[in-house]
Structure 1
Amino acid sequence: MSDPAISQVDRLSALLDRFRVRATLFHTGALCGAQAFEAVPGRGFLHVLRRGAMELRHRPGEAVAPRLRLDEPTLLFYPRALRHEFVNPPVDGPDFTCAALDFDGGDRNPLVQSLPPFIRVPLDAVDGLRPALDLLFAEADHVRCGSRLLADRLFEVVLIQLLRWIVDHPEEAGVTSGLIMGLSDPRLARALVAVHRSPCDEWPLAKMAEVAGMSRSAFAAAFKQATGSTPAAYLTDWRLSLAASMMRSGRPVKQVAVELGFASASSLSKVFRQRLGASPRVWLAAKG
């Protein structure tokens, strides 16, 4: 059960406002035989095994189990590109509803970076998920005006509910460090949410610790243990992730620097080169 102190802080909205995710329904119904889902950069998947049994395969050497047998309704979440294959009976295969996921920022999306490559969750483990799934299935299974668009939005609702569960149960989701672990701590979550909401503000260690209600030394140690990063390094990475997303949408470097609290455009460019290995202009050109 989640700590009531954590639930008082909305840990996801600021993240999802800055880095949106779009779901696109592409299959509903039975799947028979072998079905492969190739790894496409920047593309994730959310599959709902509604009924039936199947075998899930990954390539040997990946950081996930090469074979899994599933025989209960389950969510299969791939936050980033990872090839996977469903092996089903040749006839009367199990029922799935599946969506492709596109995360703003691609590989630099903070949520994507903080999640394991694959998460498996039984449907009944996520409180409140069934009503959203019932609505999703009703729209996905019938052709009506706007049904595909509504199904896409409902898939996004299901994803947010899943992310909420992951933040509340990081160990069960296979999360060991990073942003998710920081958000699971009620004290660190307060500081992280404040930084996410106001990245342009000055955020010295003392101010972050004050928001968290901790001493500077205790906050710095807890932050490092949970996220694997220092508070200052996390702030820089958060600003750079925002900067990359803003520049890809066409915002000029000078404007981005002002909005994110950098002293100047050249200051942003310098940090950008240090962390990403290229100037903003070169980086943008490489991203096409």
Structure 2
Amino acid sequence: MNDALTTLLQRFALNADTIRPTPLSAPLTPDTDLPHRPGWLHLLLRGPVQIEPHQALLQPALIWLPAPAAHTLRALSDSGATLLSAPVRFGDPALNPLIGALPPLIVVPQREMPRPMAATWALLVSEYEAGASAHGEVLTRLAEVLLLQVLRQAVDKACGRVGLLGALADARLRRVLDAVHTRPEAPWTLQTMASEAGLSRTVLATQFRAVVGVPPGDYLTDWRLRVARTLLAQGWPVKQVAEAVGYTSPAALTRVFTQRLGAPPTHWWTA
């Protein structure tokens, strides 16, 4: 069994663009022309800033907006601030369930970072100050490591909470989610999902709905449609997509698409 995040990260890769110093007081607006609009990562190394319309930050911190959102960063001191930023792509926000499970704004002050994250942060700051060859590429890779550590921390803190992250923190529910995420084409039933978890059907149905917020069957259908839309956007024919996500025919897939999303699969198909 994979860990809590591997399967989803294999489906929705997390990639930061090149990390660059950020001009303050310039609005950062999502580019509506991009097919998958990015979120933003900001690394405040020095000086107080205001994230409008959110909050003021007075100390070094990691700031991540997982979903695209317009915002403005302003220095709160005449001495300015040192801020590094990059757009971050984490799959289509409409399709990646992790984006919906995360808060719209994540702030991790440097003084509150757990030891592994603090070590990565210190290495990134050292690399930025040194400015050695290929430091832009190194900074970008370190920024991605920081984001993966943020995701790991989010799951670790979610134990006992409601939502996808809480389910990923629960060993038995995670087995079900990992199996469904990995094999959406399998002929899943409540019984086979319960067997993955090592629970009875009744207990799984009750616990799954209590934690995830929807019944197992509804989550399965939603995941299959997320995967199907991803494949359609890659140009897969509807017949192959239907087979890849567990439907017996294009007509069966079309019925579910129309019922759930109000349009047939061809609406999302890219030639």
Which TM-score band (shorter chain)?
0.7 to 0.9
Match of 1:100, SS state, is strand
Cα separation, 2, equivalents of 1:125 and 1:154 = 15
Amino acid paired to 1:214: L
2:143 aligns with one of 155, 158, 164: 155
Distance 1:152 1:251, change over 3 A: farther
Task: Specify whether residues 193 and 127 from structure 1 end up closer, same or farther in structure 2 by C-alpha distance, changes over 3 A only.
Answer: farther
**Pairing 1:104–2:91 present:** yes
Letter in 1 for 2:107: R
Alignment of 1:167 with 2:155, yes or no, is: yes
**Structure 1 vs Structure 2: percent identity of aligned residues?**
35
For residue 5 of structure 2, what is the amino acid of its counterpart?
L
Runs of 4+ in 1 over 3 A off after TM superposition: 134-147
- Give the deviation of 1:276 after TM superposition: 1.8
Over 3 Å counting, the alpha-carbon distance change for 1:146 and 1:212 in structure 2 is same
Matched, 1:38 2:26: no
Q: 1:240 to 1:127 in 2, by over 3 A?
A: farther
Contact 1:178–1:228 under 8 Å retained in 2: yes
Residue of structure 2 equivalent to 1:218: 203
Retained in 2: the 8 A contact 1:104–1:245? Answer: no
Length-normalised TM-score, structure 2: 0.87
- Choose the corresponding residue for 1:125, options 104, 113, 126: 113
Q: Secondary structure at the match of 1:246?
A: helix
- What is the alpha-carbon distance in structure 1 between the residues aligned to residue 135 and residue 225 of structure 2? 38
Task: Please tell me whether residue 257 in structure 1 is matched to residue 242 in structure 2.
Answer: yes
Alpha carbons of structure 1 residues 137 and 160: separation in structure 2 relative to 1, 3 Å: same
CA distance in 2: counterparts of 1:94 and 1:254, whole angstroms: 54
Tell me if 1:71 matches 2:58.
yes
- SS for the counterpart of 1:180 is helix
For structure 1, the 5+ residue unaligned runs are: 1-7, 59-65
Secondary structure class of the residue paired with 1:148: helix
SS at match of 2:17: strand
Distance 1:264 1:138 in 2: 56
Question: Gaps (5+ residues) in structure 2?
Answer: none
Displacement, 1:240? 1.0
Residue 151 and residue 270 in structure 1: after superposition, are their counterparts in 2 closer, same or farther (change >3 A)?
A: farther
SS at 1:25 equivalent: coil
Aligned to 1:5: none
The question of whether the paired residues in 1 share the 8 Å contact of 2:19 and 2:136 is answered with: no
Task: Using the TM superposition, name which of 37-46 and 245-254 deviates more.
Answer: 37-46
Q: Aligned match of 1:53 in 43, 48, 55?
A: 48
What is the Cα-based RMSD across aligned positions, in Å? Answer: 2.5
CA distance in 1, matches of 2:6, 2:77: 43
TM-score under structure 1 normalisation? 0.82
Partner of 1:21: 14
Which residue number corresponds to residue 271 of structure 1? Answer: 256
1:235 aligns with 2:220: yes
Return the letter of the residue paired with 2:16.
A
Alpha-carbon contact 1:28-1:140 (below 8 Å) kept = no
Output one character per residue of 1:227-285: Cα deviation in whole Å (capped at 9) or x when no partner.
11110111111111111111111221111211221111221122122222211212336
| 1:128-172 C-alpha deviation (Å, 9 max, x unpaired) | 11232334344545555543333333222211111111111138x
Contact 1:54 1:70 (8 Å CA) reproduced = yes
Cα distance in 2 for partners of 1:90, 1:74 equals 16
SS in structure 1 of the partner of residue 94 of structure 2? helix
Q: Which residue of 2 aligns with 1:63?
A: none
Aligned residue identity for 1:35: A
